[in-house]
A and B are shown apart, each in its own frame.
Chain A
Amino acid sequence: MLIAQVALRQDRDAFKSLFQYFGPRVKSVMLRAGADHEFAEDLVQEVMMTVWRKARLYAPERGPVSTWIYTIARNARIDRLRRASSQPYLDLDEIELASGMADGEDRAFASQRAEHVARALDELPDEQRRIIEYAYVHDMAQSEIAAKLELPLGTVKSRMRLAYTKLKGKLEVLK
């Protein structure tokens, strides 16, 4: 696994492969969240630098590498694009790592879970999937999504709930 090679030996070739895969994707997400090209490049640097620095802290039992890098990108977006604070997220991560809270979960379960989430996302009706993408990829607030789609806020919320309930339904088989 690439991330393990970065974690164990600071392997630069492995890191380059990660960069080539995730860098352009992180940039695309930042562009859609409203960053201009230069800013999006900066954010890619920042996110990938964090990946290098924290590779040893990546815990496979909590989820796949893509989820981990997504959370790093989300935190950068909160701090830099929204000018808010990702501190509560970082603190929660730390205590989870320090206390071994995720120990009960196993790796096989985490990767199966991610596969089911992927498949369930593919099967979502367009109107639900679009709302999820606006929230996660375009970094839009619920009220902004409602305005953009000309829907009442309550409808946006109930579509989010529907989408999430459907995702969770697909995971029932894993329990």
Chain B
Amino acid sequence: MTILHHLDQTTLLRYASGDLDEAFSVVVAAHLAMCDECRRELRIAEDIGGRLLEESEMATVSDGAFSRIMCRIDEAEASGETILAAPPIALRGGKQDVPSTLQRYIGTRLADISWKTVAPGVRRHKIALSTPTRSALYMLKIEPGKAVPEHGHGGTEMTLILSGAYRDALGRFGPGDLADLDEHVEHQPRVEPGEPCVCLVATEAPTRFKGIFSRLLQPLVGI
């Protein structure tokens, strides 16, 4: 898999500093799970945090803090429970085409997702999050050859392609590619002929649509 479109640098720093809500961190983590290059970048971005922590001034920690933590450890051990984290087990083999970080949200196979038709040739699956966010997270499955009406964005929109591909003015987006778009971008993606395009999308705020196609797209993002 050759990935051509990566995380924007400011998105990388926002992820590293903990500034993305759950909808967006799911999309970013799924791209990171597929992309060695961005994972290397993330280590640099997290080293910044490590360094700032080291340089940080020292607040006064209450006297009993350390013995309190040791008490908790002793109590846990006395009760026979093991509190030490086990090394994670190697990944399951078998047929799965969903990045592992996404599996808790949509399962292991794209074929098992239940879709709801929201416009001709466009199906959607909403993803439930564990925390409330102002953003929405959903999957889209768009039929080959189908064009999404031209639209701008009321806020940030991130789209991660899981299978199939589309093209817009920014280029071709295939599996693993991430379209990391801020509110200033307008585009009109068209899915390539051949297979449907399945993608994971996070949108920040109500998306604004242009022209008469807006009615088509409103139900698509569910706002």
Contacts and interface: CB of A to CB of B under 8 A. Distances in A.
B57 A97 contact: no
A168 B17 contact: no
B29 interface: yes
A153 B87 CA distance: 42
Q: Interface SS of chain B: helix, strand, loop or mixed?
A: helix
Nearest to A137: B52
A174 to B, nearest CB: 11
A78 B61 contact: no
Contacts of B65: 19, 23, 41, 44-45
A74 B87 contact: no
Interface string B33-58: 10010011001111111111110111
Identify the interface centre among B60, B68, B84, B133: most chain A CB within 10 Å of its CB.
B84
A3 interface: no
Contact of A25 (B17, B45, B54, B100): B54
Interface residues of B, number: 62
B53 A91 contact: no
A5 interface: no
How big is chain A's contact interface, by range? 35 or more
A166 B29 CA distance: 25
Contact of B46 (A24, A67, A135): A67
B53 A29 contact: yes
Given A25-B56, A44-B61, A44-B65, A84 B88 contact: no
A89 B84 contact: no
A39 to B, nearest CB: 12
Interface of A: 10, 12, 16, 19-20, 22-29, 31, 40-41, 44-45, 48-49, 52-57, 62-71, 73-75, 77-78, 82-89, 91-92, 94-99, 101, 105, 110, 113-114, 117-118, 121, 132-133, 135-137, 139-142, 157, 160-161, 164-165, 167-168, 171
